[in-house]
Each structure stands twice: as structure tokens, then as C-alpha cells.
Structure 1
Amino acid sequence: MSDILKQKGFNTRLVHADRLLNDPQDGAVHQATNNSVLFNYPDIQDLVDIFQGKVAGHAYSRQSSASIDALQNMISQLEGGVGSLTFASGMAAITTAFLALLQQGDHLIMSQFVFGNTSSFIGTMRRYGIEISVVDVTDVNEVAQAIRPNTRAVYVETIANPVTQVADLLPIGELCEQHGLLYMVDNTMTPAYIFDAKSVKASLLMGSLTKYYAGHGQVLGGVVVDTGLFDWAQYAGIQDSFRSLPVAMQGLMQIKKKGLRDMGGCLTSESAHAISIGMETLALRMDKTCDNAMQLAKYLQSHPKVANVYYPGLEEHPQHAKAAQYFAQFGGILSFDLVDSVDCFAFMNKLQLVLNATHLGDTRTLAIPVAHTIYFEMGEKVRAEMGISDNMIRLSIGIEDIADLIADFEQALA
């Protein structure tokens, strides 16, 4: 039945994916939520074959269940991957992939603009003997200069949070292809509707499902997607026990067994169901969110009490041309610096519609003072290197009516 979805539009595939890919029982349009932890097999050989990977099936819900498989099938179809794994959060997906694929003595090249918690995990990986170079990924030459004989992978985010730097995505992908490096791309800010990761030669996609996929601020989740573009036969980090599998499945299976199974960051069936429901309106929400973000960015840019606006859709943005090349739309996050004479706390306390909250990808517009919260632990020196001022406010734009959003900013800035 999944053949029906081929060549269909994105919204059509979203709303019919669960029904046609997973064929729920009794004519249901959604896969039923299966909360069983264990699975019984009257013939013990069936259970043995599942444990040994000879046949597909479920042995224990920490590794898989019908509910989890249903969500993974839909994400793989939307992102154009050969397979995917879901996790309890975006950070669980990212850290699990790192630890499952990298080992002591390996070298990882990472963006200097990565999300705060991902940046914090750099210290953990270094304690485990993984070497890391942090570089400016808006310039492929910076990445090229960091390559060593023991380099195994390059990790970037499509649009950085909060200053919205855009990585030099395709040149880095071509560089990774040339050197046989794993290209790990966090596309949390740019889900499949606005970004084709395979067009930039990404090997693995990873990130949060909590944000735009789920979209309503009510469920946590993360994902790793294998695009099928990387030749795992050439990757030195695949363990011998996984070399007998088809080459295309070796990386994802190692992440599943040595990461998801052993580390235990599994998604619940209820969360998988909630994410699959939220996904149905992904494209509709992204259209409204991106349109609102563009209009609000232009409004803030023209306001005398705003010193700087950081949004890839603005022509003045340093990577605007790259963003226009890679993305169908420019995303739903933007940041801005208030002029020194305006106290950002006083301004934020006057907002009425906008929520003072940490999160991204919600239906509601959210604001947070960056230096005092999500990047406070990094310290002033690192914040300066990332372009984060003490008066910077990050916004996650929602789907409200734009006139109401602008009016709220207007009265708070007055």
C-alpha cells in the first residue's frame, strides 16, 4: 500500500503515511499504541531468530515495538532515508549516535555554533578519549584544515541556535564524500518539508522530534535517520559483530544495539503516537511559522530600539545566499539584540502574548534571554566567540496572527 504515496505531495504523504505505510488493524487511520514491554513466541526459535537478527520482530520494547516502528517508518519515508531510530529526546539521539560510532582515539570535527547541551557533551566525549576540533562550519575551508588521519566524522547543524549561522552544507558534504568521512547533520531547525538533506550528501540526520515534528510542546522525542548515502563498509568504527549485516544497515544497527539498547534512551509508545499526530500538520505549521518569522524579522529590523536581527531570510544575513540555496523557507527561529539603553528583562516582562519560555518549534511564540539562561554555563568568552551578546533575545516563532504578534512587540518596546 505504501506505493500509493509515491509521487504524492508532502501534505498528502503526511496525513496518509500512518494508514498506508503501517496498515493499522480494523481500518484505523493510526497505529494503535502498544504498551507491552515483552512479546511472547510459542515457538522459541522465533524469539531466538529475532535476537540474532535473522528475522524482523519485537523481543523487548526498549529496542522496538509496533508503535515505535510505525513512527520510524513514517520519518524514514519523509526524510528519504533507508531507516531511522527514535529516542526519548533529541539529546538522547545525538549523544547515543556519537558514543555508538566513535571510540577512543577517533577525531570528530564539530561546529563551534552547536546547541548548548550538544556543546556541553563535547567535554564528556573528550573524557572518553574522543578528540574533537571545534571550527567555523560556515566556511568549508575551516573544516578541511581540521581533517586529520584519524578523523571519522563531521557534525554540523543546518541553522545554528541562537545566532542562526548557516553551515556550508553542500561543500562540507562533498568534502566528507571525498575523504570518506561520516557527515552527521542536525536538521532540527529544518525538517524535511523545507530541507532535502540528501541534496547536501548528509550521511546521518539527527535531532529533536520535540520541536517541529511534534510541534505542540507536549511530548519529547529524538531521531537518527540513515540517508543511505554513506558506505559503511569503509567506516573503521563498525564492530565485527555487525559486519555480517547488509552494508546499508550496519551503522544504524550498531547505533540501535550499542546505543539505544545498551544506553536505554528509548521512546515510549505514547510519545511515538503523540509525535505521529503532531506530524500531520508539520507543513501547515512550517508555512505559517516561517512567514511569521520573516515578517517579524523585518519589523524588528526597522525598530529603533533593536540593534541587530539574526534571521537567515534577511538579505543582510551573512549566509542568506546559502540559506536560499539549501532551504525552501528560512525557518522559525530568530534572535535580536536590543540597544544598550533597553533592559531585556523589562522588555520581556511586558510581552503579553509571547511566552517567556525555553523551547523551540511550538505553535506559540516563545522568547528567552540567551546569555542568562541557555548559554549561561558556557561563560562570557565562549558566548562572545559564538556572537551572543548580553542583550540578545531568542525567539521561536509560532502560528499566531502576525498582526497580533507585531502589536505585542510594539507595546512592549514602547
Structure 2
Amino acid sequence: MTEKKNYGFTTTILHNDRQKGIEHGSLHKPVHTSVAFGYADARQLASVFQGKEPGFRYGRQGNPTVSALEDKVNKMEQGVATLCFATGMGAIGAVFQALLRAGDHVVSSSFLFGNTNSLWQTVAGQGVAVDFVDATEVANVAAAIKPNTRIVFVETIANPRTQVADLKRIGELCQERGILYIVDNTMTTPYLFQPKAVGAGLVVNALTKSIGGHGNALGGSLTDTGAYDWTRFANIFENYKKAAPAQWGITQIRAKGLRDFGASLGPEAAHHIAVGAETLALRMERTCANAMALAELLESDERVAAVYYPGLKSHPQHGISSELFRSHGSLLSFELKDGIDCFDFLNRLKLAIPASNLGDTRTLIIPVAHTIFFEMGAERRASMGIAESLIRVSVGIEDTDDLLEDFSCALEGC
């Protein structure tokens, strides 16, 4: 297939494997299960290990099937390089393992995925100071920055309360101060938004979620967008400065975060995610439309106390979401009015499934305070705006009328 530079999003992802040629004319990159890669010439093996020429060393550091997925995600994010990991948390953990040292400081959005919040607690216990701020206003981020601040970390749309970070102005601030700006793009996906556009140097995607999209494989990725000048980053080891400066960050993360940390993505999971990614745009169009319809239904129901979805005009960051994102995502949350038992409501649903994943083809629903955010305690939940009655919905691709009827019936008690 002759490569063309201006294909659309779906066409590019659908035919990406064929751009480089595939064994035996396969339409997908095959699943390569070997963890070792032999070379007929021992000098070539040494050259690959020394980074003088491309090639595979050992399954923990790379694999042809995983490499094909990395190339696909890299195209989605318009990056210069992408690494894949066993999970999204593996990707985030690798950043901190590879790039932070004792005495460093991080500014993070206070509106975070529960496990990311837990990871920050671990990082803080290892000598890295972490300040949590309301990232919906750039002024809060600016006020928290210190001379030793190495990273600013935000999510595009927060899980579960759907706060939208002041992404563009935070990016401008980080560029001005020379700080590495990391954006978790999981809730928007590269189809709805590319953080490179607001100056993010590194982009996280939990591939388990919408990119894989079918709840059948764990994975995560980290993309270097090329927007950050790595010569401004204090923690690059001298031996990783042999390459061009644009490669310093990803080279150190590959060595210190992937090779040493060991959170490697397996080839079978990589294949599942790569196939799922082909329909990302189609699924996101449907799930976003369903989420909008469901949010409007819930907002109009007298039994619902509050609805949180960036697509609603009542949402505090509706303007930012409308300006930056192609659509408003497939995640929403809501609170039932006092006196309505959330567990009884959940048990009345026939289509929506009580489960903790996101970005599935099926609609998944969960009582947040009692499950995924239970461990952090009531005080921390309250600081994040998470009410005890908050219910999170990851909206799927079901027929819209069926989905709305399911929620309406559950609210009515039928």
C-alpha cells in the first residue's frame, strides 16, 4: 500500500499496519509470542542493544505486535514516539519512575482517577512533593509552581465528576516556565482531542478503555508529542543524551520506566487493542451521542439532584469542552435526591451493568463512593466534590431509545 499523508482518522488507523508491510499479506499485524529475538550476525545483535540500529532485544522491551500498536497510537496522537505498557497505571507509574527524583515537586489536578491519586501518595512518600490544585483555573496551577517543579499533571475530563481542566492556558503556562506538561487523554481519546494542540509534552492513554473499547484487554500508552524541549528537563541521565534532544525523554522512559520497571504489554493484549482501535471513531460518535441524550434525560428528571456532563450547558466547563473537544465524551455522573436508595436504583436497571470499567461497548454503572473511591475516605472524597450518592455512568453503544427507557424505568421504580 502506498503511504499517503492526509488520510482521515479512521482510514489511517484501519490501514496503518499495511503501510509497513505485514507477513504473508495479513491484514493485521500477527501476534508474535516470542520473548527472544535471534540474529544471524552477533555484531548486529550488539548494534541493536547499543541503539545503533533498530531491532528487538527482549520481550520486556519490545515486540513486533506491540510495536505495531505503538505506531498506531502514535499516529492517533500525532506524536514523535509512543511506548505501550501493561496498563494505563503502568504508563503513569513509568513516568514517575523514570523522570522524578527525591526533592522534586509536582503539581497535579486534584480531580483524578482514584488509582492515580493513590499513586501520588506513594510518590510523595518517596521524597517527591505533590500539590493538588483545582486545575479548572490556570491561576491555581500557577500559584502552586515552585523552583523545583518538574511536572504538571492533569486529566482532560476528570473521572468521575467530569471537571474539565483549563488545558490550553495551563499548557501556555508550562511552556513559559519550561515545565513538562503531562495530560491524561483517556476520557477524551485522541479522536475527540489531541493534547499536543495545547502544548502537552507527554500524553497518557489507558488503552484498556475506549481505544481498545471492548473490555477484553488491559493496556496503556505514553506518547511524546515533540512539544517539550527536553534540554530544559533537569533529570535526564548523561548516557541518554547521546541521541538527539527530542529523543532524550522517551529513551530514558523506555529504559528506566519500561525495561527496569517491567510493566510490559503482552502481544495478545496488544493485538486485541489494535483491532479494537480500528472502530474508535465510530464508537465514540455513538457513545457521545448516547451520553448527551442520557444526560439530558437525567437533568430533566425530578428524582435526580445533579448531573455532571460537559455537554450540558449547566456544566461549569461547558465552554472549554465545546472549544477544545470534538464532542464531550462518554462519561457522566449524577446524584439521586435524598431518600432514593442508589443500590435499589442500580438493581432495577436491565441493560446498564454494575461494573468498574470505562469505555466499553456496553453501558457500565457504579456507585462511586462505595467502590472505586471508597479507599480514599470521606474527607478526600468531599474535597473532590464526590457525594456519597454519586453514580458514574460509562455510556455504551446500545440503541439510544433502549438505553433511555432502561434509565427511565429504573427511576420510576418499575
Q: TM-score range by the shorter chain?
A: over 0.9
Q: Secondary structure at the match of 1:133?
A: strand
Which of 79, 90, 93 matches 1:92? 90
Which stretch shows the higher mean deviation, 162-171 or 68-77?
Answer: 68-77
Match of 1:41 in 2: 39
Aligned equivalents of 1:271, 1:215: Cα separation in 2: 12
The answer for the alignment partner of 1:119 in structure 2 is 117
User: Percentage identity across aligned positions?
Assistant: 51
After superposition, where does 1:305-316 map in structure 2 within 5 Å?
305-316=303-314
Aligned counterpart in structure 2 of residue 192 of structure 1, from 166, 190, 193: 190
The separation in 2 between residues aligned to 1:18 and 1:338, in whole angstroms, is 47
Q: Secondary structure at the match of 2:127?
A: coil
The match for 1:15 is 14
Residue 68 of structure 1 is matched in structure 2 by 66
In structure 2, relative to structure 1, the CA distance for the partners of 1:68 and 1:2 (3 Å cut) is: farther
Name the TM-score, length of structure 2 as normaliser: 0.98
Separation in 2, partners of 1:248, 1:212: 29
Counterpart position of 1:30: 28
Counterpart residue type for residue 207 of structure 1: N
Paired position in structure 2 for 1:215: 213
Letter in 1 for 2:17: D
Is the Cα–Cα contact under 8 Å of residues 368 and 392 in structure 2 kept in the other structure?
Answer: yes
Which of 322, 333, 336 is the matching residue for 2:334? 336
Q: Which runs of 5+ in 1 are unaligned?
A: none
- Give the superposition deviation at 1:338: 0.2
* Corresponding position of 2:134: 136
Please tell me the residue identity of whatever aligns with 2:179: L
Q: Aligned partners of 1:31, 1:117: CA distance in 2, in Å?
A: 32
In structure 1, C-alpha distance between the alignment counterparts of 2:390 and 2:134, rounded to whole Å: 21
Is the counterpart of residue 403 in structure 1 residue 401 in structure 2? Answer: yes
**Residues 254-293 of structure 1: per-residue CA shift (max 9 Å, x gap):** 1110010001000001111110100010000000000000
Match of 2:3 in 1: 3
> What's the CA shift string for 1:161-204, capped at 9, x where partnerless?
00000000000000000000000000001111110211111100
User: What is the rounded CA distance, in whole Å, between the counterparts of 1:388 and 1:127 in structure 2?
Assistant: 25
What do residues 69-107 of structure 1 show as CA deviations (whole Å, max 9, x unaligned)? Answer: 111111111110000000000000001111111111111
Superposed displacement of residue 3, structure 1:
3.0
Matches within 5 A, 1:2-401: 3-4=3-4, 6-20=5-19, 22-401=20-399
Provide the rounded CA distance (Å) in 1 between the counterparts of 2:340 and 2:306. Answer: 13
Q: How far has the Cα of 1:2 moved from its partner? A: 6.6
CA distance in 2, matches of 1:242, 1:353: 51
Q: Which runs of 4+ in 1 moved over 6 A?
A: none
8 Å CA contact 2:35–2:60 kept in 1: the answer is yes
Residue 381 of structure 1 aligns to which amino acid in structure 2?
E
Residues 131-155 of structure 1, C-alpha deviations (whole Å, 9 max, x = no match): 1111110000000001101011100
RMSD: 0.9
Structure 2, unmatched stretches of 5+, are none
Distance (whole Å) between structure 2 residues aligned to residue 264 and residue 38 of structure 1: 15
| Structure 1 letter corresponding to 2:7 | K
Does structure 2 conserve the Cα–Cα contact (< 8 Å) formed by 1:91 and 1:207?
no
Contact 1:290 1:331 in 2 (8 A): yes
Shift of 1:42: 2.2
- SS class of match (2:62): coil
Query: Which residue identity lines up with residue 129 of structure 2 in the other structure?
Result: E
Q: TM-score, normalised to structure 1's length? A: 0.98
Q: Within 2, Cα distance between the matches of 1:236 and 1:109?
A: 16
* Separation in 2, partners of 1:404, 1:308: 23
2:74–2:80 CA contact under 8 A, matched in 1: yes
**Cα distance, 1:14 vs structure 2:** 2.0
